[in-house]
Each structure stands twice: as C-alpha cells, then as structure tokens.
Amino acid sequence: MSMTTIPFKACALTSRRFLLPAQRLLFKEMSFPMQQNFGNFSLFRRQSNGAFDPITLLVQRASDILSSSPHLLAFVRQLKVGSMYWEEGWEALRDLLCTFRPAKIVCFTMEGALQAMPSDVCVALTGIFAQSSLQKVVLWGWDDIPPSTLTAAFASCQNVVVRCHTLEMATAMDAASPASKQDTNTCLSPAIDAGDGATPLECLVMEVENGAGDFLLQPTISRLIRGLRELEIFPDALPAAHFCSTTLTHLALHMPWGLGSAVFPCLGVLKVLTLKNTPTRGWSIPMEIVAPSLPTSLPRLEVLNVNTSIDGGRMGRAPALDAALTALAFLREVNLTIDGTVSAMWDEVELMYRKSVEEELPAVHAAGLVTFSQTERDSTQAY
C-alpha cells in the first residue's frame, strides 16, 4: 500500500460513514507483482508447512476478499498483474482474473513472462477483455506474447499497447487459423469473435522489434485494424498500415532507418507522422529515399515530428525531402524534438545540428515550417 492510500484506510476504519468513499479510492487501482524464479531457494515457493510463496498468497487473499465483498469490484478501474513462475501462482492468478469478470475495469495491464501463460489463464483473460467498460489493454512481455491473446485484445478493446521483443511467426499463423482454437496457446472463447469487430480498435502501439509485420498481415488481424486512427510501430510493420489507410490520422515509426522501401504507403488521411528514437542522421537518409512518393502518399499531412538524439553529427543531405515537404499543400510544421545527453558541449552540438537542418532543408526553413523543441535535461547527470 502506498503512502497516499494510508489516509483512506484510516478513514475506512474510523467511521461507517467513511467506509464506502474510502473503499472507492482504496480499490480504484489494484496491482499485483510478478513472480520470478529464485533459483534453489524453495522457501520462496512452498514452505515446509505447505504455505505458498508471498506473491501467490497475496493473489489468493485478494481473490478471497473480493469474493466475500463483491461490491468492491465496482470500485476497481485499473488492474495490473504480473506473470507467475510456478503452477500454484498461475492457478491463483487464473482465479483472480475470474473473480474480476463482473468488474468494470477501464485499464488492464499484464507484464512479465507472458509466453509461459497457461491456456486456462488465457481463457480467464477473455473475461477481462469482454468487459464493456474496458478502454485500454497493455501487454508487456519479456520475450514473446501469445498472438491469440493479442487477437482477443484487438477484438475487444479500442486502445491496445503491446511491448515485447519478438512475435513468433509460427504462433502468429496459429492465431489466424480457425483450427488453432483448440490449441493450448489459444485464449479466444465463444464470447469473443475475432472476426466480428464489435468493438473497433482505434489506437494501437506495437513496440515489437521482430514479427509484428507478419502478425498484423494475418487475415484475422488485418480485419481488426481497419478502423485504426492512431498507430505506433517499427518499420517492418509499415506495410500493414494500408489496411487502415482510410482512417489513420496519426502514425509513429520507431527507428525509421529500417524503412527499406523507396515508396511510402499511401495513407490518404494521415495528418501527423512522427519518427521516434532516431539519431541525427538516422531519419533523414531513409526519408530522402521515400521523399518522391510523399506528396502522393501523404497528401493531407500537416505535421512531421522527429524525435532525435544528439550524437554530434549533422543532418544528412536531403534535397529530395526538402522539395517533397514543400510540395505538401497542408503541411504546417516540421518539428524536431531534441533529446541529448547532458554535457558541457551540449548547447554547442545542438546549435550545430539546428544549423545543419536549416541548411539541408532550405525551402522548408524559408517557408517558416521548421520548429525545434527539446526534452527536459536530466539535471542528475554530471557535466
């Protein structure tokens, strides 16, 4: 319990008049840590008296409290759970998720070793995803995430955030196959039809370095992303953007130097394009390659955001990009947000980079479209 919740707990114990208002604030956000392997220390799993590890006991205790006082479920708006390591922990987590089925959760987060999630826990997740109150799902995996779990989230929520290193293609294909519904990794249930699209997915963040492109191109998934308005991906998933070309207004690309194509996808209603996590030269080189296609591919573009880190280099030569940007009739801003390591030379390096941008994009600069901003400097770092 955090320090901010202690006064609410005290109020709940002081008077019955304060009980419900205090409970409403106490149970608004519930978070359960992940269970990890502590090597050969069996104390952390099952003690000699048969007791489970502290995290399993915590999850079980929460299930008991919520089952005996079901009115508390109506107060929970944010639920965050971590993955388990031992079978007993997964069983406790499954029971907890089932307990939350009648709740009205707005934001659900799960993190950890999600690739190890048993099929019965996947099925229990559908009870969370099926809640009409749910607005956002965050799945943060250490390595892989069962694509069937993603499919269920895509089919049930308007806002999904996915963070992991890789989505394995084999399981991604299983997720798109009707026959896979009998597979142990499948979390879809009759309550959620992935092809139904009853709750259109509007905002998707896929911070996945490998496999996201193949996953999004699967027929089941491509149907679910057709109504996207905001999309954040790595370049390997960019071909999937054409599925939502008539609705997508905001697109963010991580590490854009991996574009790997001379033609940018045709996104007729895109208004804001953001390039993230790129060094000073890392964004201009690939954008110079796709530049000739920009006026026809992004005819409604209004803002180009570039989030760049200062590495001491100049912006790369970009005459084609300069011409393409000035040819965009609706473009009103090219903003470069600079994020650099604090050092004694930081101001000088930033000034040099700004000057190089103005020199390499002379027409854009002359039109008054170039703006600069910067993230807050970390004052804890030494000069």
DSSP annotation of 52 reads B
Would you place residue 179 in the very low, low, confident or very high pLDDT band (cuts 50, 70, 90)?
very low
Residue 343 has pLDDT above 70, yes or no: no
**Which residue reads 């690739």 in tokens?**
115
Measured CA to CA, the distance from residue 205 to residue 162 in angstroms comes to 6
pLDDT greater than 90 at residue 92: yes
**DSSP string covering 244-275, please?**
GTTT--EEEEESGGG---SS----TT--EEEE
Please state the domain extents for the chain: 249-383
Convert the pLDDT of each residue in 246-263 to its tens digit: 999 999 999 887 776 768
Q: How far apart are CA 23 and CA 9, in angstroms?
A: 8
Q: Where are the alpha helices (DSSP H) in the chain?
A: 6-14, 16-26, 54-68, 87-99, 119-129, 147-156, 169-176, 212-216, 219-224, 284-290, 294-297, 319-326, 346-360, 362-366
Residue 183 has pLDDT above 90, yes or no: no
| CA quadruple 93, 95, 98, 103: dihedral sign | negative
Query: How does strand 107-112 pair with strand 78-82?
Result: parallel
Distances (CA, A) of 296 to 38, 103, 105, 241, 326: 56, 47, 42, 16, 13
- The C-alpha atoms of residue 60 and residue 91 are separated, in whole angstroms, by 9
- Residue 169: both structure tokens together: 């293609």
Written as six digits, the tokens of 364 are: 């854009």
In the DSSP assignment, the letter for residue 287 is H
Average pLDDT of the chain? 82
pLDDT of residue 326: 96
* Contact of 305 with 337, CB cutoff 8 Å: yes
Residue 117 to residue 83: CA distance in whole angstroms: 7
Residue 17: pLDDT band with limits 50, 70, 90: low
Which of 147-151, 170-174, 211-215, 281-285 is the least confident region? 170-174
